[in-house]
Chain A
Amino acid sequence: DGGITQSPKYLFRKEGQNVTLSCEQNLNHDAMYWYRQDPGQGLRLIYYSQIVNDFQKGDIAEGYSVSREKKESFPLTVTSAQKNPTAFYLCASTMTSASSYNEQFFGPGTRLTVL
């Protein structure tokens, strides 16, 4: 059963803590993405990775870090430097060809709350 899994579904963080959100896909997709969704603001891109061992900053990368050691995994760390981390985090992936990117698929999301 192919798809994208994210864990945990809910995550609570204390002030000053770093937390890591998991994203795994078994679709054999090359590119993976992390978005943040806030009420009334739509989705905004945090980081993306087009190939293993390479990633680029999106529009709101400050306070976040990622790694891409395996094709199927793209974990996101929310560091203590992120001032307002409470949000819904969505991971996505897509197959790439030589000249274009195809349909993007999303995981079920992780809701992070700062206590």
Chain B
Amino acid sequence: KQEVTQIPAALSVPEGENLVLNCSFTDSAIYNLQWFRQDPGKGLTSLLLIQSSQREQTSGRLNASLDKSSGRSTLYIAASQPGDSATYLCAVSNSNTGKLIFGQGTTLQVKP
């Protein structure tokens, strides 16, 4: 059974710092991996999608990497800003149904 873990559960950094969020999964036979952002009381916003054949994806200050063999993905945020404060969720799909299995998220606080 696929399990997704995100460590740490919470992270607080000063503005301007570069940071890395971690996601690990137990079954390397994935279709894709998606990173989301969630603000309090809101829905999820898709940040990046990495297909199983890809190693990384970039969007602005965000870069996500995927290492299927080790069951790991990282989300790199460059030059963090207070507006980046949110919960970041990692989810994997390991079948052609599109079903996502989620980690519990990392809550990020960027202090001005």
Identify the A interface with B (CB < 8 A).
Answer: 4, 6, 31, 33, 35, 40-45, 48, 50, 56, 58, 90, 92, 94, 96, 99-109, 111
Q: How large is the interface on B (under 10, 10 to 19, 20 to 34, 35 or more residues)?
A: 20 to 34
Question: Do B43 and A104 have beta carbons less than 8 Å apart?
Answer: no
Q: Is B99's CB under 8 angstroms from A48's CB? A: yes
State the Cβ distance, B47 to closest chain A Cβ, in Å.
10
CB of B42 closer than 8 Å to a CB of A = yes
| A interface majority secondary structure | strand
Partner of A103, one of B42, B49, B99, B104: B49
Q: How far apart sit A4 and B93, CA to CA, in the bound complex (Å)?
A: 21
A45 touches B99 (CB 8 A): yes
Where the two chains meet, the residues of B that have a C-beta atom closer than 8 Å to any C-beta of A are: 31-32, 34, 36, 41-46, 49, 51, 89, 91, 93, 96-100, 102-105
Instruction: Please tell me if the beta carbons of A42 and B43 are within 8 angstroms of each other in the complex.
Output: no
A40 touching B99 in the complex, CB below 8 Å, given contacts A90-B44, A109-B42: no
- How far, in whole Å, are A99 and B32 apart by their CA atoms in the complex? 12
